[in-house]
Amino acid sequence: MELSVSHINLTLGSGRKTMRPVLRDVSFTVPDGAFCSLLGESGAGKSTLLKVIAGILLQDSGSIAFDGAAVDGLPPHRRRLGFVFQDVRLFPHMTVEENVAYPLRMAGVGRRERRARAQELIERVQLAGFGPRPVQTLSGGQAQRVALARAIAAAPAALLLDEPFSGLDESLRDDMRSLLLRLHREEGVTALMVTHDANEALMMSDTIVALDGGRVTQLGAPEVLYRDPATAKIAACFGDCSVLEGAVRAERFSVGEIALPAVGVPDGPAVAVVRQGACSLGRDGEEAGKPCAGEAVVRCGVYAGAAYLARLDVAGQTLTVPTAALPGPGEAVPVFIGVEGCFVFSRPS
């Protein structure tokens, strides 16, 4: 099913003083069978948007459509959606099988067919034999597998997932991501997942919708957001980086002794996001063929396993650069920064 979100606006709050716009003109389309992530920091409006799509909250204006047909007048239970939440929300008084079969019971599916589908799904989420178990006896990862099986049991029109793995240990998350992607592919179900983990969004999505302050700031394939981020926040969300405030003049960003290309950026205050992987010190940078960005003074260094991290002083700000050999504090060192990991944006003055 194609899921369309068109010009959604929503203001929330209990009194005039607390009313604030939470969603502002949000529009995007998730094609039939695609996996889309809603990415944004806390308070961006991700969960609120999921609730609007589910029909739990009603928007002030705009429309939600499934396969081109508006569903704004439909209550949540008639939207045929499957849900997975961070806090799992299994029915505690039911067994694993009863939980998975519940949406089928609600849909009026006969007992024998319900049992067969529940059994099949329990096996597909690698919990064969767990059917009669009370859900309170499950580990966090097992409970989330049951929640996934339950969410797809009644072949929903779309699957909505709200931070489904953030309550799990990192060691479990990768397994769960693979399982979810496999089920998504096998069922061919359209999926929309809320996450604040940019790398999770990169790994899992066909499309990412970046939300900030209730607005869509960028929409596109993971590669597009990674290689050509539209805002400094998006550039900075994909892992270790330094953020430097400076100014652009004649398409050059400068701060302290550091200068970087800023093609197309107008003159004025600006911010540069510099990914650690794009930076090298001294001879390492020359050998990698990166352009020299200038000199900076070593403030301190830390050991980070694969490399040392040199913390350099740039006009009172910190530029972190991985290095095989740590120079001493106070030493001035040439810094090399590859253009592919360096993004400059105008900053309102």
The footprint of ligand ATP (CB under 6 A) covers 12-13, 22, 40, 42-48, 196
Which residue, 115 or 196, has its beta carbon nearer to ligand ATP? 196
DSSP letters spanning 13-74: -SSTTT-EEEEEEEEEEE-TT-EEEEE--TTSSHHHHHHHHHTSS--SEEEEEETTEE-TTS
Least distance between ligand ATP and beta carbon 214 (Å): 7
Instruction: Enter the tokens of residue 242.
Output: 């330094």
CB 159 within 8 A of CB 152: yes
Least distance between ligand ATP and beta carbon 15 (Å): 10
Least distance between ligand ATP and beta carbon 246 (Å): 30
Residue 131 and residue 184: Cα distance in Å, rounded?
22
Which residue, 142 or 205, has its beta carbon nearer to ligand ATP? 205
Which residue, 218 or 280, has its beta carbon nearer to ligand ATP? 218
Which residue, 61 or 126, has its beta carbon nearer to ligand ATP? 61
Q: Apex CA 75: angle with CA 74 and CA 80, to 5°?
A: 80
CB neighbours (10 Å) of residue 77?
A: 10
Instruction: At 112, give phi and psi (nearest 5°).
Output: -65, -45
Instruction: At 146, give phi and psi (nearest 5°).
Output: -65, -40
Least distance between ligand ATP and beta carbon 216 (Å): 13
Class of residue 253 by CB neighbours under 10 A (exposed 0-12, middle 13-18, buried 19+): buried
Which residue, 82 or 214, has its beta carbon nearer to ligand ATP? 214
Least distance between ligand ATP and beta carbon 155 (Å): 27
Least distance between ligand ATP and beta carbon 22 (Å): 4
Least distance between ligand ATP and beta carbon 85 (Å): 11
CB 279 within 8 A of CB 322: yes
Most distant pair of Cα atoms in the chain: their distance: 76
Which residue, 52 or 148, has its beta carbon nearer to ligand ATP? 52
Which residue, 14 or 349, has its beta carbon nearer to ligand ATP? 14
CB 216 within 8 A of CB 233: no
